[in-house]
Every structure is written in structure tokens, then in C-alpha cells.
Structure 1
């Protein structure tokens, strides 16, 4: 487990070699967490928690971001008072080649099918 620190604020993240497929799949199985990942992938940059609008309470949103971080799907760092979230795409692609792209593509197709 590695810890990212800025000032006195530190958040634990799993090392690349400690990321497990079943934890990643569990994190991505929840619709709200998948929505976060889709937004981060679509933006291609780090986003604050408040930039990712979820139709849930703040505490539930915090829980979803924590599950994503602890599973190794996202990296969270503090910059000033903002907590920035970014996909750990390089780590996920190295460990599970094509997984993230296929999950994102399948999610997009599902949205088209259900919304259209």
C-alpha cells in the first residue's frame, strides 16, 4: 500500500502489484462507480469529487470514491483543499490489458441501448 501525501493529508492506495482483478471488477460493478470512471475517462484529466455529479448523498459519493481508490481504479491526491481524482489507466492496462477499454465500451453501448 502506498500513501500519497500533500501537506499532512495522506490517502492510502494499493501498489500496482497489489491490485486484484476481483476488487477492480467489484468496484466497476456498481452503476455510480462506473459513472465516475466513465466521466474520468471521458474528460481525460483529474477531476474534483464535486465535478463528478452523482445523484446520491455526499457521504455515499465519498464511499464510492473510496471504493474506487482502495481497489486501485483511481488515484486521489490533495492539491490545496481540493481532492483530485484520476484513473490509474496505466496501472490497469499493464495488469489487465484491454479490460478498462472494454468495460467503458460496453457501458457506452448499454447507455445507448437503454436510453435510445
Structure 2
């Protein structure tokens, strides 16, 4: 994205603080697993309002916050749009293979 980032979201978990327990706790909810699956499949970051989730805006805000604080996604403002991206490198370094396993399981779950 070539647009200038104008806002900062400062409560991202440091990469070295990502834990298995934190990631698994964050992914207990099927809506959050869906968000992660959609981000994994996206070529670029996604704006909050573009996800295919059937929850209220305040509930979606909560889900994004849980994922951000667990170290699963990064949020930043690009112009006035809050974008989300997976922290693939950080997750793969902290928990090798876990993200791929989660995505495989989430796809299986979504296909039922």
C-alpha cells in the first residue's frame, strides 16, 4: 500500500512475547479463526469492514483486539482505514508450523 500511514496502534505484542497459550486462547472463537483464515488467504492487508463475519461492529472490534494482543495480527491506519495483516514471520519464528496447522484446520472446519 502506497498511502501514508497516519495513525499508530501501540498495543501490539512484542514478537518475543508471543506464546502458544496466548495464540490458542485467542483462536478458541470461530469468528477469530475465520478472520485469521481470511487474512491468510489475502494477498495484502484487509480493512476491518471487508471481512466476511456476521457480528456487530463492536463485537468485531473486540475480536480484532484479542487477535492483535495475542500477536496474531498487526493493525495500522493507512489514511483513515484500519488495515489488518497476519504476523506470519513472527508467528512462524515463535511457533513453527502452528499457523499452517491452524489454517488447515480452519479450512476443514469452514468446509463442513
TM normalised by structure 2 equals 0.90
Which segments of structure 1 move beyond 4 Å, counting only runs of 4 or more?
Answer: none
Give matches, 1:72-91, under 5 Å: 72-91=71-90
Residue 34 (structure 2) pairs with residue 35 (structure 1): yes
Matches of 2:52 and 2:106 in 1, distance apart?
18
> C-alpha displacement at 1:28, in angstroms?
1.3
Task: For residues 86-112 of structure 1, give each alpha carbon's deviation from its aligned partner in whole angstroms, at most 9, with x where no partner exists.
Answer: 000000001111000011111212223
Matches of 2:7 and 2:74 in 1, distance apart?
17
Matches of 1:40 and 1:14 in 2, distance apart?
18
TM normalised by structure 1 equals 0.87
Q: Which runs of 5+ in 2 are unaligned?
A: none
Are residues 76 and 8 of structure 1, via their aligned partners in 2, closer, same or farther at CA, if it must alter by over 3 Å? Answer: closer
Are residues 109 and 59 of structure 1, via their aligned partners in 2, closer, same or farther at CA, if it must alter by over 3 Å? Answer: same
Secondary structure of the 1:12 match is: coil
RMSD of aligned residue pairs (Cα, Å): 1.3
* Structure with higher strand content: 1
Task: For residues 4-61 of structure 1, give each alpha carbon's deviation from its aligned partner in whole angstroms, at most 9, with x where no partner exists.
Answer: xx54543310110111111111111110000000000011310000111311110000
Which residue of structure 2 aligns with residue 56 of structure 1?
A: 55
The count of corresponding residues between Structure 1 and Structure 2 is 108
Q: Which runs of 5+ in 1 are unaligned?
A: 1-5
Secondary structure of the 1:29 match is: coil
Secondary structure of the 2:27 match is: helix
